[in-house]
Amino acid sequence: MGKTEIKLVNENGLRVDGRKLDELRPIKLEVGVLDKADGSAYIEHGKNRIMAAVYGPREAHPKHVALADRAVIKCRYHMAPFSVEERKSPAPSRRELELSKVIREALETSVMSELYPRTSIDIFIEVLQSDGGSRCAGITAASLALADAGLPLKEIVAACAVCKIDGKVALDASDIEDKQGDADLPVAFMPKSGMITLLQMDGSLSESEFNQALDMAIAACKKINEMQVEALKRKYISVKEQAEERYEPREGAA
């Protein structure tokens, strides 16, 4: 049972939103949604609504932050004041600073930054509405935005959290499960190399629960990765169709 009287898993093994323990929330991904950024992506993961944008590689500013052997990667995770029930201060909180750091580390491994010495790659994650697991949804979107910016990536990074609710390990915690559950384990994963690029744990899990949770998270990241690849393909098919329309010779033209 969680920390409150609300039952998070009913007698049929279903959760507050009707999901099974190993079921993901609905995910919608869109790539190239912003014209002005070099790369962008939008994710709806459950009720999370998150925009990710990437600039770069561009000249590092201020110059002293530049690295001689690779690009410097910066990341800002930010929650809009209207993203939570009570207005949140727009100033960056300790939590946002910490998440910016761990998200940067989760994505950094995937970027071939050695190809762009002395430059800077800037990642912006703007949470418009949050619903638990926003750091994971932010990573999933930001990795797509990096790909959309045309940056060479070793792999696309997908992320998902697993929680423990009413004594049971469950995939992809929603806000209420995140707040009232007993544990939360956000994971970011690169499926081809099998590399885990983010692993955090809040609360406590036994060794067998931890192993079960990690297996669940990895299986979910593999599924999310397939959705990411499909979203990228959709973007390039639509770019190709628009280009074909633009250059199709008009009837009667020489």
User: Six-digit token pair at 14?
Assistant: 């279903």
Give me the 86-125 binding string for ligand ADP, x by CB under 6 A, dash otherwise: --x------x------------------------------
- Amino acid residing at 222: K
Q: Which stretch binds ligand ADP (CB under 6 A): 19-27, 31-39, 131-139, 149-157?
A: 131-139
**What values do phi and psi take at 59, rounded to 5?**
-55, 130
Binding of ligand ADP at residue 84 (CB under 6 A)?
yes
Contact (Cβ atoms closer than 8 angstroms) between residue 68 and residue 118:
yes
Q: Which stretch binds ligand ADP (CB under 6 A): 22-30, 110-118, 128-136, 152-160?
A: 128-136
Q: With CB under 6 A, what is the number of residues at the site for ligand ADP?
A: 13
Q: Which stretch binds ligand ADP (CB under 6 A): 8-16, 26-34, 130-138, 229-237?
A: 130-138
Q: What's the closest the beta carbon of residue 135 comes to ligand ADP, in angstroms?
A: 3
Give me the 175-214 binding string for ligand ADP, x by CB under 6 A, dash otherwise: x--x-----x-x----------------------------
Contact (Cβ atoms closer than 8 angstroms) between residue 45 and residue 38:
no
> Which chain residues interact with ligand ADP by CB under 6 A?
84, 88, 95, 130-135, 175, 178, 184, 186
